[in-house]
Structure 1
Amino acid sequence: MKLISTIILIFIASTCNTPVEKKAKQKEILPVEVNAQDGLERAYFASGCFWCVEEIYESVQGVQEAISGYSGGNTENPTYRNHADHAEANEIIYDPETVSFKTLVDVYFASQNIEQVNGQGPDIGESYRSIVFYQNNEQKKIIEDKITALTNEGYKVAAEVKAFQKFWIAEEYHQDYAKLHPNQGYIQGVSIPRWRKFASKMPEVIKSSVRH
């Protein structure tokens, strides 16, 4: 009798666990790795307003360009007026011989309020949430090691860590916005102070030609 009961329990346990295991496997999302072009690689970050982030990264040695756009969601063809589940994000085009992905991650956390959930500064909502994207296991480990270090320092890190899938370029008028509109109210009141705060933390990575 005990033997039959044991067999039944084992069967029930295995039956219950199987769908959960399958469900877990189905949820796993593999990252998309973007190939280097002309020796330049690409990294992706979301950290509040993309105008601010673009300006920050374009001031970093080894970064050729930062492009504003949308990432982190599933909506096709997002726009500024309707990017739904995407966050404002930036594509960072950089020379790995000059600046490493690890340094870009350091820049990311040095240039934001690490603990702010769903926003940065005055920009509030899921569209402004912080996300660090990885394209392979090496990048994922770099990000996770940085978050572990920050956690050990006492920070409650708000940034999500996500497998990169796709980056959608934002409308043309968003590109180089801070550079083209240096006297605009938001740029003067938010972007420039945010950049200066970052620059004071990592002056060694700033291009000599950049001044504010």
Structure 2
Amino acid sequence: MKNLLVALLFIFQSCQSQEKKSEIKEFKEPVKMKIENNMEIATFAGGCFWCTEAIFNELKGVKKVISGYTGGTVKNPSYREICNGTTGHAEAIQITFNPNEIAFEDLLEVFFGTHDPTTLNRQGADVGTQYRSEVFYHSLEQKEKTEAYIQFIEKEKLYSKAIVTKISSAVIFYEAEEYHQDYYASNSEQGYCQMVIAPKLEKLRKYYKSKLK
């Protein structure tokens, strides 16, 4: 029994943070992304990027999802540094999508519907600033749409607690190590995937059928 409890603790606390305060540099203008063929970019942080990547890979109109780090002060951070909670970066995903197939508002709906935007620097047992809820906008239009969507959520009282999701200008996005990419697809039988990611995908498939590939 003791060994089982230790294993479960390891699964759910995959990257517990020993947080230190770090000053986040303010950027007035979002980073302009190079995109082709009328594609657009969206960057979201909503807890462990293994989860968010798996979710958004299932949406129609989404052409590519990359797991990475953004919003901090350290250049070219490693996963080990991120886990220490000292770099200021969030685990995030960068989504390349076709706006003619799926709107930015649809991405926001799925984003806010598949993670808890009311818990500060935490998603479930994953604790630390790297697991914060944040939208990094690439245009003023994305910024305004995100603000409007949060106002809608609050007006409709979809959550009993206040929304703590940050809205920030997109900054440099560092692609995570190769083994993080398509993590769920390659490790679906792993404990964390079964106990944390699979239930999120079940929710996605139940409530967002019309948005799936």
Between Structure 1 and Structure 2, which shows a larger proportion of helix residues? 1
Instruction: Look up the equivalent residue of 1:81 and give its one-letter code.
Output: R
C-alpha RMSD of the superposition: 1.5
Structure 1 residue ranges without an equivalent (≥5)? 1-25, 208-212
Greater displacement, 150-159 / 61-70: 150-159
**Offset, 1:100:** 1.3
**Offset, 1:153:** 2.0
**Offset, 1:124:** 1.1
Q: Pick from 182, 187, 191: which aligns with 2:197? A: 191
1:28-67 aligned within 5 A: 29-67=28-66
> Which residue number in structure 2 is paired with residue 174 of structure 1?
180
Q: TM (normalized to structure 1)?
A: 0.82
**SS of 2:93 mapped into structure 1:** strand
Q: Does 1:139 align with 2:145?
A: no
Instruction: State how far apart, in whole Å, the 1-side matches of 2:163 and 2:112 are.
Output: 9
Q: Please say which structure displays the higher CA radius of gyration.
A: 1
Flag the 1:98–1:124 CA change in 2: closer, same or farther, 3 A: same
**SS of 1:66 mapped into structure 2:** strand
Structure 2 residue ranges without an equivalent (≥5)? 1-24
Equivalent residue pairs, number: 182
Instruction: Look up the equivalent residue of 2:129 and give its one-letter code.
Output: E
> Which residue number in structure 2 is paired with residue 4 of structure 1?
none
> Which residue number in structure 2 is paired with residue 76 of structure 1?
75
Instruction: State how far apart, in whole Å, the 2-side matches of 1:28 and 1:193 are.
Output: 36
> Which residue number in structure 1 is paired with residue 155 of structure 2?
152
Instruction: Look up the equivalent residue of 2:112 and give its one-letter code.
Output: F
Question: What is the percentage of aligned positions where both structures have the same residue?
Answer: 38
**SS of 1:151 mapped into structure 2:** helix
Q: Which has the higher contact order (CA 8 A, sep 6+)?
A: 2
